[in-house]
Amino acid sequence: GAGVSQTPSNKVTEKGKYVELRCDPISGHTALYWYRQSLGQGPEFLIYFQGTGAADDSGLPNDRFFAVRPEGSVSTLKIQRTERGDSAVYLCASSPRDGPNEQFFGPGTRLTVL
């Protein structure tokens, strides 16, 4: 079946602009995660949804970052007033509700803030 998809694959924006990044999880997966990966680093957790609600948003770096999952499937990560330090690859993962914590990742969105 289809894996996790993310759009756009690349996004270049200017400092101060607003961006939205989209994630389509694997069908039937109730858990959805967002991570951020900087060059030469492992992914770092941002936020986790179980269904429609954010179960853990402790990784969001500040209030410029926000994410939604209104129907419990597709999720959008929103970044306001982007800064150059926001440049990274934003990864989305999904996982079935039950069983071990197997998270399946999408290809990521490479965000560049000029």
Partner 1 sequence: QKEVEQDPGPLSVPEGAIVSLNCTYSNSAFQYFMWYRQYSRKGPELLMYTYSSGNKEDGRFTAQVDKSSKYISLFIRDSQPSDSATYLCAISRGSNYKLTFGKGTLLTVNP
Binding site for partner 1 (CB under 8 A): 4, 31, 33, 35, 40-45, 48, 50, 55-56, 59, 91, 93, 95, 97-108, 110
Q: How far is the CB of 13 from partner 1 (least distance, A)?
A: 19
Six-digit token string for 63: 């209030």
Question: What distances in angstroms separate CA 107 from CA 8, 17, 58, one per listed residue?
Answer: 10, 23, 23
Tokens of 34: 């967002």
1's CB contacts (< 8 A; 6+ apart) are: 26, 27
Q: SS3 for 95? A: strand
For residue 16, the minimal CB distance to partner 1 (Å) is 27
Would you say 63 or 98 has its CB closer to partner 1? 98
> Closest CB to partner 1 among 54 and 83?
54
Residues in a beta bridge with 68: 76
Q: How far is the CB of 98 from partner 1 (least distance, A)?
A: 7
Query: Which one, 38 or 80, has the nearer CB to partner 1?
Result: 38
